[in-house]
Structures are given as C-alpha cells and as structure tokens.
Amino acid sequence: MTVTFPDGSFPWPQNFRAAASFTFDVDAESCVLAHDPGATGRMSLMGHQAYGPRVGTPRLLRLLERQDIRATFFVPGYTAECYPDTVRAIADGGHEIAHHGYLHEPMQGVDESTEADYLDRGLEALARVGVHPIGYRAPWWEMNWHTPRLLAERGFRYDTSLLDDDVPYRLATSGPDSASLIEIPVDWALDDWEQYAFYPGWTGSGIIEDPEKALQMWLLEARARHAEGGCFVLTNHPFLSGRPAKAHALERLIEQVKALEGMWVVPLREITAHAESVCGPAHVHERLSSVSV
Ligand SMILES: [Zn+2]
C-alpha cells in the first residue's frame, strides 16, 4: 500500500538507517473509569492505576535522563487534570506530550460528534497545563473512519494508532486531495499491556510475564526493524513498566537499542517532522463494504 520508496526502504535522515521511539501512555485511572465509573469505589484498583503518575512516571523520567533520550508521553485529559505536577515534570524533562483522549474513552462505534467532543475536552484539559499537542494516539488504538479528519481539523500533525505498516506514511483524511496527517504505525507486540497487565476483575486472565522475556522479545523486534530500515515504536504504561524490575529491563533495552548503529532514537514529533519532508502522496484507506453472511 503505502508510500513505497524506489529501493523499498524509508529515507531516514542522513547517517541513520532506522528509527526508534519510546512512548508512554499515562492512562492512570482513566482507562478503568471509562469502562466502569463505579470503580472509584475500589481503593486498591485506583491505587494500582495512580502508581503510574505518582511513582512510575518519576522513575521513568529519571531513567530517560540517565539514558539521555527524549520520549513521547500520551496523556489523557483526565490524567492532566488529576496530576498536573506529573505533566509539568514530563515537560520539564524535555519530553513530548501528546493527546490520548479525555477519559480514555472506548472509541469503537462512537459517532463523529461524540468523538469530536472527546478530542476537544482532551485538548482543553491539556491546554490548561500549557500543552498544545501535535500528536494523537487513540485509546486502545481504536480509530474510526472519521477520526483522521477530526484530527486534521484540529491541527494535529500525526497519529500513531494504526497497525498497517512498519514505517511512517502520509494518511489521507478523506480523498487524495484532502488534508493529511503522518501516520506512525504501532504493533500489539510492542505494547507492555500484553506482557504485564494483570488486575483481578479488570484485565481478565492476563498473566505477568518475566521482564527478561519482554526484553528479549522487544530486542528482537528492534533488531529486525533496524535491519530492515524500519521504525520501532514501543508503548509502555507507567503503572506497569514504571515498576522496579520492569523499568530495569526497559533501561537495558534502551541501552541496546541506542547501541544499534545508525538507530535514530527520538520522540515521535521528530519522526513526524522528518516524515512530512519525505513522504509522498497521502494514502487513502479503502473502507470495505459490509459483508453479509
Ligand atoms: Zn492508553
């Protein structure tokens, strides 16, 4: 599909052959409350989620500082309202802050005007802490066909929620001549939720994997994407990967990814700026007509 470059590889900036970005979704309580507002009554579950902004994010910020890299943090509006000091600490570390819904709303089947309200409410909450994001990640990576246009209308320059390529591309918001965004694709294999999320009565039957296993799996992905000139985008949640052994494994991963020759380790805003300069015509996604069975 996509922007195919003549020799099949993506033209990264001079001296780089692949890119990597470490991203963090600071969901905190929002991802629970969007599904069950009554969960505020569960003290332990609320504390498990609050660990992200309270303890996990500060630990991850120290880790990123030690490794001297900048990352991208996706912050739901509700998190920004509850934890403004955490948001300020992320910004003070030189990291990018981007949009991740207001209350991490489930987007599947949501109509256009409702989704527009979620986006605007998230933007307003971020603006109150001085953040004006250029990037968006849909909660649960769930995009609707109308979402790209809603993003473009609000001045977003990139999205990172689709799972249909290994490198960035230009995403049409409706027809080929319409406004476009940069899409930076993601992958469920590169999300710590599948490795570590476990909470009785909330995450289902998830198990907590050995951080060594997650490290090996992600390192294999990083090496393969590096070998192919691709883009490695890792998604971590501070209430999961901000815990001690998981953060320790993540730091070792970062060290090894940085050591790959010609790996460009930057926040998504920098990948976006570069992609805007090299990506060709926007790709129009064809919507399948409904299937009768
Ligand atoms: Zn999330």
Cα of 45 to ligand 1 centre, how many Å?
Answer: 16
Q: Do the beta carbons of residue 73 and residue 21 sit within 8 Å?
A: no
Distances (CA, A) of 111 to 107, 174, 219, 259, 288: 9, 16, 39, 45, 18
Partners of residue 264 on adjacent β-strands: 19
Digit-coded pLDDT (tens) for 231-246: 999 999 999 999 999 9
| Position 98 in a domain | yes
Question: Cα of 292 to ligand 1 centre, how many Å?
Answer: 33
Whether 93 shows a pLDDT value over 60: the answer reads yes
Q: Is the pLDDT of residue 4 over 60?
A: no
Measured in Å, residue 193 CA sits from the centre of ligand 1 at 9
Q: How remote is the CA of residue 159 from the centroid of ligand 1, in Å?
A: 14
Tell me, in angstroms, the distance from the centre of ligand 1 to residue 27's CA. Answer: 5
Give the residue ranges of DSSP H helices in the chain: 30-33, 43-51, 57-67, 77-82, 84-92, 112-128, 147-153, 193-196, 211-228, 238-241, 244-258, 268-278
Cα–Cα dist 69/61, whole Å: 10
> H or E element: which one contains 22?
strand 18-25
Mean pLDDT of the chain: 94
19 CA → ligand 1 middle, Å: 22
Closest among 176, 180, 185, 187 to 218, alpha carbons compared? 187
Cα(170) to centroid(ligand 1), Å: 23
Mean pLDDT value across residues 118-143? 98
pLDDT in tens, 150-182: 999 999 999 999 999 999 999 998 766 678 999
Mean pLDDT, to the nearest integer, of 94-106?
98
Q: Which domain holds residue 26?
A: 18-278
Model pTM? 0.95
Residue 109 has pLDDT above 90, yes or no: yes
- What pLDDT score was predicted for residue 2? 47
Q: Is residue 97 part of a domain?
A: yes
Residue pLDDT, tens place only, 24-53: 999 999 999 999 999 999 999 999 999 999
In this predicted model, which residue has the larger pLDDT, 176 or 110?
110
Q: What is the pLDDT of residue 25?
A: 98
CA–CA separation, 154 and 72 (whole Å): 20
The pLDDT, as a whole number, for residue 55 is: 98
Structure-token pair, residue 229: 């000139």
CA 237 to centroid of ligand 1, rounded, Å: 8
- Encode pLDDT of 52-76 as tens digits: 999 999 999 999 999 999 999 999 9
Gap between the Cα atoms of 165 and 230, Å rounded: 9
Distance 275 CA to ligand 1 centre (A): 24
User: Ligand 1 center to residue 74 CA distance, Å?
Assistant: 8
Q: Does a structural domain hold residue 248?
A: yes
Residue-level pLDDT at 3: 47
pLDDT tens figures, 250-264? 999 999 999 999 999
| Residue 153 contacts residue 128 (beta carbons within 8 Å) | no
**CA neighbor of 166 nearest in space, from 72, 234, 249, 232:** 232
Whether 290 is in a domain gets the answer no
CB contact at 8 A, 24 and 237: yes
C-alpha 190 – ligand 1 centre gap (Å): 13
Q: Is 80 inside any structural domain?
A: yes
Q: Which helix (H) or strand (E) holds 264?
A: strand 263-265
What is the domain-level CATH number for residue 196? 3.20.20.370
CA–centroid distance, residue 62 to ligand 1 (Å): 22
Fill in the amino acid letter for 11: P
Q: What pLDDT is recorded for position 292?
A: 80
Distance 8 CA to ligand 1 centre (A): 32
Domains in the chain, number: 1
Asked if residue 234 belongs to a domain, the reply is yes
* 236 CB-near residues (< 8 Å, 6+ apart): 22, 23, 24, 25, 60, 191, 192, 242, 250
Report how far residue 202's alpha carbon sits from residue 94's, in angstroms, rounded to the nearest whole number.
Answer: 34
> Which pLDDT value is given to residue 178?
79
- Domain-embedded: residue 3: no
Could you tell me which residues come within 8 angstroms of residue 22 by beta carbon, excluding any fewer than 6 positions away? 64, 69, 71, 72, 234, 236, 250, 254, 265
Q: Is residue 1 part of a domain?
A: no
Candidate from 105-119, 139-153, 166-180, 206-220 with smallest mean pLDDT: 166-180
User: How far does residue 5's CA lie from ligand 1's centre (Å)?
Assistant: 32
How close is the Cα of 119 to the center of ligand 1, in Å?
14
**Residue 9 C-alpha to ligand 1 middle, in angstroms?**
30
